[in-house]
Structure 1
Amino acid sequence: MAELYSQEEITEVRYLEQDSILWADFETCQEKLNEYWDSMPDKRDSIQEVYNEIYRKTSEKNIELAMKYASVPSGLQRLYMTRLDIPKDTLESILNSLDIEMQESFYGKNIREHLQNRQIQERDSVYIFPCVQVDGKPFDWNITNGKQLLILYGGLGCMGKAGREQLKQLYEQTSRDHLLILVYWPCSSLENLQKLKTEYPCEYIFVSDFKQDASPMKIKYGVQATPTCFLTDRQHIVKVKCTGFHPELFNKYINRTK
């Protein structure tokens, strides 16, 4: 890594400049496409294709910058954020090339944990870890025994009103003896978790471990985007893992009894 980028100064300031330019350019393109979307509704399929290509190229550049600037704090943090899109052997090589201080930093340790763990996929069992409910009490995983779980990694805001209505409909059409909806929030404190419950009043179980980027939800479950959803059977074997809320993927696994 040091030899590869020896001709260009690798600093925190330089990384932040490059990152800022990348996303400013993306936002400019996005704003222009939004204008076309509103003014040219008959061209929306083509506009969507252009957006997808711009997003793909921006994401690739984002990863490239994270790999290039992994030796500075913000670059290493971004490397962690993009870890799911980088082969583990590449990620390990980059991490091992860093000085010991960076390897032992918060994000260095999290990347190492990611490398040492196999992330949960469909047909795996769920991973049980300590977390807290909105009342401040430890969540009792025993109440999930014999029930299907729909675990959401945050995202009630990201899914929008339409998505929340779909989730509510699914919940109301399913017996509590059959399905529990568990929303893990990557928040920093019990107070923040309680505020989220106020913002999204519902019967779903809200939990967090307040570990944020060091949480098993990130490292063991292998999530980054909100929401990421895990639907299990009654034995807690994951049947569906998806980024975003896609209830059509759940239909064949959920017995709607109401």
Structure 2
Amino acid sequence: MKTISFILFLLLPMISLSQEFSLSGKFSGENTSQIVLSYVNNEGDWVSDTIQIEDGKFQTSGKLKGTQRVILAGNTQSKNMQDPNLGYFFMEPGNIEIKLNENEFKDLIVLGSNSQIEFKKVESKTKPIRLELDSIANNRSENSQDLLISGNNKIQKIELNYAIDNPESNISPYFLSYYQRRIPLDSLNSIFNTFSIENKNSVYGKNIDDLIQKNIAKAKDIAPEFKVKDINGNSISLADYKGKYLLIDFWADWCKPCIAKFPDVKSLIKKYKDHDLKVLFVSFDKTKEDWRKSVENHNIEMWDHTYIGLDNLKDSESISYKYDIQPIPAYILIDKNGEIVDRYEGASKSDKGFNDLVNKLREIIN
């Protein structure tokens, strides 16, 4: 026993060091003096590391909680996830090198990360579909929504099948975590159980396990109570909507699909305003200032609004946590008795989209 204990003692420093990373890079551009690397450290805390660029070079180091897809931000000009100075890549413990150009963060080159190489191979299969979806989104037609849903389902199938076929891969937990709220809980649990111990304990594995252990409010359940402040500082609770149909719209200004849905949401409100339909917009914007400006810019100030913010999504008292919302856009429909009618878009666990919401409202109100 002493020998085994001594060996484990010797291994402890190695285990700790195995989470260390060193990142260095070359940068080309005249309007960026620093970049920000965001990741989860080995203690499970979110870190935003500001790195200075000197003579076209930068470097940093730290401790990483296993393989994860990190964020690299430069001189961003918008809150949009498509900003050309916002990039993502898979980083793992060890020495990583990057080649980066201003306004081309999406095309950064990564050396020293086998996980990034593996991810790029999967991405090569989904990229043609994504380009097609961009074209559809920019050239809207009557069947655009159906085409977008079909295309996204194809991408989901490719990435989920990769996770199923490669349970030992370090990027599989990322794919499963991304789609964890879009597939039935029993399927999620079944796939998760095939993962290695390392993958189960990864950043994404922990997220998946938390969801599996959580009791999610579903259709026909009594809607979880909430008490929030509206945009004017007044208190709002679920009880205030008793005797009314309530549509909760989870959104953010940086979420393009959320904004694209606003005309449809407004049409529903107009159509059923005399049939006891109320709407509560719940914002995931980065700051309250962004939120207030967005409400005004999108001409939705006449309805109820409350703010969560990106930093509070996992707060046990937030609406997003109580209703398990992620990703957005997401919609929860609650009936006059406070019972959940169903969940749609990002809130759905069974691929129910906005058209399903429209049809359900038509069914229960008419």
Bucket of the pairwise TM-score, normalised by the shorter protein:
0.5 to 0.7
The residue number in structure 1 matching 2:241 is: 144
Greater Cα offset, 212-221 or 126-135:
212-221
**Contact kept in structure 1, 2:200 and 2:206, CA below 8 Å:** no
- The structure whose RCO (Cα within 8 Å, separation 6+) is larger is 1
CA change 1:219–1:109 in 2 (3 A) is farther
Which structure has the bigger radius of gyration? 2
The residue number in structure 2 matching 1:169 is: 270
Partner residue of 1:12 out of 115, 134, 143: 115
> What's the % identity of the aligned pairs?
15
**Contact kept in structure 1, 2:167 and 2:194, CA below 8 Å:** no
The residue number in structure 1 matching 2:74 is: none
Query: For residues 44-77 of structure 1, what are the alpha-carbon distances to aligned partners after superposition, in whole Å with 9 as ceiling and x for unaligned?
Result: 99x99998766544321122345548864x7544
Partner residue of 2:331 out of 207, 224, 229: 229
For the aligned residues, what is the CA RMSD? Answer: 4.1
The residue number in structure 2 matching 1:3 is: none
Query: For residues 18-69 of structure 1, what are the alpha-carbon distances to aligned partners after superposition, in whole Å with 9 as ceiling and x for unaligned?
Result: 35323322134557889xx99xx9xx99x99998766544321122345548
Structure 2 residue 197 is the aligned partner of structure 1 residue 97: yes
Q: TM-score, normalised by structure 2?
A: 0.50
**Contact kept in structure 1, 2:283 and 2:306, CA below 8 Å:** yes
Superposed displacement of residue 116, structure 1: 0.9
CA–CA distance in 2 between the matches of 1:158 and 1:49? 15
Superposed displacement of residue 138, structure 1: 6.0
CA–CA distance in 1 between the matches of 2:235 and 2:341? 26
CA–CA distance in 2 between the matches of 1:79 and 1:136? 39
1 or 2, which has the higher helix percentage? 1
Superposed displacement of residue 118, structure 1: 3.1
Unaligned ranges ≥5, structure 1: 1-8
CA change 1:132–1:16 in 2 (3 A) is farther
Output aligned runs, 1:212-223, within 5 Å.
Answer: 214=314, 221-223=323-325
The residue number in structure 2 matching 1:185 is: 283
CA change 1:96–1:50 in 2 (3 A) is same
CA–CA distance in 2 between the matches of 1:33 and 1:91? 32
Letter in 1 for 2:341: K
CA–CA distance in 2 between the matches of 1:171 and 1:145? 17
CA change 1:81–1:135 in 2 (3 A) is farther
Structure 2 residue 158 is the aligned partner of structure 1 residue 61: yes
**Contact kept in structure 2, 1:70 and 1:76, CA below 8 Å:** no
CA change 1:30–1:190 in 2 (3 A) is closer
The residue number in structure 2 matching 1:254 is: 365
The residue number in structure 2 matching 1:88 is: 188
CA change 1:15–1:143 in 2 (3 A) is farther
**Contact kept in structure 1, 2:334 and 2:342, CA below 8 Å:** yes
Partner residue of 1:240 out of 342, 345, 350: 342
Letter in 2 for 1:126: A
Structure 2 residue 124 is the aligned partner of structure 1 residue 21: yes
**4+ aligned runs moved over 6 Å, structure 1:** 31-34, 47-53
Q: TM-score, normalised by structure 1?
A: 0.67
Unaligned ranges ≥5, structure 2: 1-111, 252-256, 346-352
